[in-house]
């Protein structure tokens, strides 16, 4: 019984935290607030979530037959965090997503014109980090 009590208390505190964050950022529902264990898990949820949702939407065609996603192109930089690059590689290998890797200059900066030039009709996501730790 004591374990159940601790779990109930933890759930109430988690819901309270969700409500505070929801109000702070103007989210429509506290259920839209998702907590993860850290950056890598967050990156995986964001990139895979966007990609697989796009794939799912594209598959809802005639007889729900698989077809290439309408948006299956991801743009990233040559120096992205490994969690980003491995997640994109997984999507390429397992689901046929395409990627464009934008080079960086000697100071690690991306040229915005390269990003704009890489945009395609089927671009789903551009993921470029601002800074690295």
Segment 21-60, tens digit of pLDDT: 999 999 999 888 989 999 999 999 999 999 998 888 877 6
Question: DSSP H helical segments within the chain, as ranges?
Answer: 2-25, 39-59, 82-95, 112-118
- Mean pLDDT over residues 108-131, rounded? 94
Query: Using CA atoms, how far apart are residues 88 and 99, in angstroms rounded to an integer?
Result: 8
pLDDT at 70: 77
**Of 129, 97, 95, 91, the residue nearest 110 (C-alpha):** 129
Query: Using CA atoms, how far apart are residues 42 and 59, in angstroms rounded to an integer?
Result: 25
**Of 120, 22, 29, 17, the residue nearest 70 (C-alpha):** 120
User: Are 99 and 76 contacting, i.e. CB atoms less than 8 angstroms apart?
Assistant: yes
């Amino acid at each position: 019984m004591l374990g159940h009590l601790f779990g109930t208390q933890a759930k109430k505190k988690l819901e309270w935290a969700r409500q505070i964050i929801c109000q702070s950022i103007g989210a429509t529902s506290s259920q839209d607030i998702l907590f993860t264990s850290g950056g890598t898990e967050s990156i995986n949820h964001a990139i895979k979530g966007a990609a697989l949702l796009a794939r799912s939407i594209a598959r809802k065609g005639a007889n729900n037959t698989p077809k290439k996603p309408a948006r299956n192109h991801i743009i990233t930089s040559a120096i992205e965090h490994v969690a980003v690059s491995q997640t994109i590689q997984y999507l390429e290998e397992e689901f046929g997503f395409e990627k464009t890797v934008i080079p960086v200059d000697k100071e690690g900066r991306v040229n915005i014109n390269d990003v704009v030039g890489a945009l395609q009709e089927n671009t789903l996501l551009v993921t470029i980090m601002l800074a690295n730790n």
